[in-house]
Amino acid sequence: MKNKNDLLSGPLLNILTGASLPVAIYSASDFVIRYANEAFVKLWKIESLEGMSALKLTESAGNAAIMRALKSINPEAARITLTHTLGNTTDLAFFESVFEKVATEPDFIIHTVHDTTRFQIENEQLKTTVTTLEKQNDELYKELLRTGQELEESYIALENAGTRMLEILESISMEVELPGIGYWSLNLEDMSFELSRGAKKIYGIPEDAPVPFNDIDISHVLDSQAIANLEQLAAGIVDPDKLYHFEHKINPFNGEPSKWLKTSGVVVGKNNDRVTKIAGVIIIIG
């Protein structure tokens, strides 16, 4: 066999001399290895590669794709890249082979091998991580949907409980006379009050008198804090999740001495997101 310096010259000789990667040179006509550097020989674990056909080489490595890549080199495809493994090792290893012709040496094909094991392993680990995160994200999304549904069901149950509470309070106010306690509701759509018999008694209002009352200055009945609270309710400044309670002084309509009351209430009526009705309890505290 000819010496590589006799066979090759110019660009190919420069490539072979300076190459640290595994490199082999094939004859383009019969795919026989004309030269292989030490790194290439070590990779293939064959003592002598020069003069060996590429077909035999690929059979020893258990990878016929290498031979197919060599046969695919032509003027239209002067460079082909192939990712592959080698069957001559039990270690997990991945390689990228580059087959190419040099314009100044058309009779030869250069085969350069890059070890891509670390890249492939890290890439697989990244894919696994992404898959795991996607799965966790999907599970979290489903959990949020379940939580949202549970919250909606709880809200509906609370709203129903509020309506039922008002019904019970109204029933109590009609059937039972509790001294110093009354029940009220305020319709925020038309600002109409409803008062139980006990509430009317606290305010000094005749049982058959209508509410609201005509020709009466409300400032003579409620103090400034109570009036401010009513104005907030009238303006729709209402938090549906809040229990309203405040203490205020009244001057009963019938001229009785002033009384201190504690008034509390909750939202019991809604139209979509808009609060329409509030109801609660009035208690004499002094």
Task: Transcribe 183-241 into DSSP letters.
Answer: EEEEETTTTEEEE-HHHHHHTT--TT--SSPSS--GGGTB-HHHHHHHHHHHTT---TT
Span 44-55, pLDDT tens digits = 777 766 667 677
- The pLDDT of residue 1 is 40
Residue 91 domain-assigned (yes or no): yes
111 and 171 share one domain: no
Looking at 74, 93, 115, which one is the last position of a domain? 115
pLDDT digits (tens, 9 = 90+) for 126-137: 888 888 888 887
The percentage of residues in the chain with a pLDDT greater than 70, rounded to a whole number, is: 66
Domain CATH for 61: 3.30.450.20
Q: Specify if 111 maps to a domain.
A: yes
Residue type, 191: M
For the cut 70, the answer to whether the pLDDT of residue 215 exceeds it is: no
CA 208 → CA 168, 172, 211, distances in Å?
22, 18, 10
Place 236 in a pLDDT band, splitting at 50, 70 and 90.
Answer: low
What pLDDT is recorded for position 19? 65
Q: Which residues contact 275 (CB under 8 A, 6 or more apart)?
A: 188, 236, 238, 240, 267, 269
Residue 122, pLDDT > 70, answer: yes
Among residues 99, 115, 131, the one where a domain terminates is 115
pLDDT greater at residue 77 or residue 267: 267
Q: Is the pLDDT of residue 110 over 70?
A: yes
Mean pLDDT rounded to a whole number for the chain: 74
pLDDT greater at residue 273 or residue 21: 21
Work out how many domains the chain is built from and give that number: 2
In a domain, 40, yes or no: yes
Tell me, yes or no, whether 169 and 279 share the same domain. Answer: yes
The yes-or-no verdict on residue 2 having pLDDT over 50 is no
pLDDT of residue 217: 62
**Residues 18 and 77 grouped into a single domain:** yes
Is 105 in the same domain as 210?
Answer: no
Under the phi-then-psi rule, with left for phi > 0, alpha for psi from -120 to 50, and beta for the rest, what region is 226?
A: alpha
Give domain status of residue 252, yes or no.
yes
CA dihedral (75, 76, 82, 87) positive or negative: negative
Do 272 and 176 share a structural domain? yes
Same domain, 194 and 273: yes
pLDDT digit string, tens, across residues 260-277: 888 887 777 777 777 777
Query: What is the structure's pLDDT at 18?
Result: 60
Q: Does 133 reside within a domain?
A: no
Q: Are residues 103 and 181 in the same domain?
A: no
* pLDDT value at 87 more than 70: no
Please check whether residues 271 and 201 belong to one and the same domain: yes
Alpha-carbon 82 to chain mean position: 38
235: containing domain = 165-284
Residue 125 falls inside a structural domain: no
Q: What is the DSSP letter of 29?
A: T
Q: Of 77, 99, 115, which residue constitutes the final position of a domain?
A: 115
Q: Are residues 19 and 106 in the same domain?
A: yes
Q: Regarding predicted confidence, which is higher, 19 or 177?
A: 19
Is there a single domain that holds both residue 180 and residue 246? Answer: yes
Are both 99 and 173 inside the same structural domain? Answer: no
pLDDT (mean) for 182-193: 76
253 pLDDT more than 60: yes
For residue 123, being part of any structural domain is answered with no
Same domain, 169 and 275: yes
User: Is 81 a member of any domain?
Assistant: yes
Element of type H or E holding 97: strand 95-102
- Which residues, 6+ apart, have CB-to-CB distance to 211 below 8 Å? 192, 193, 194, 195, 200, 205
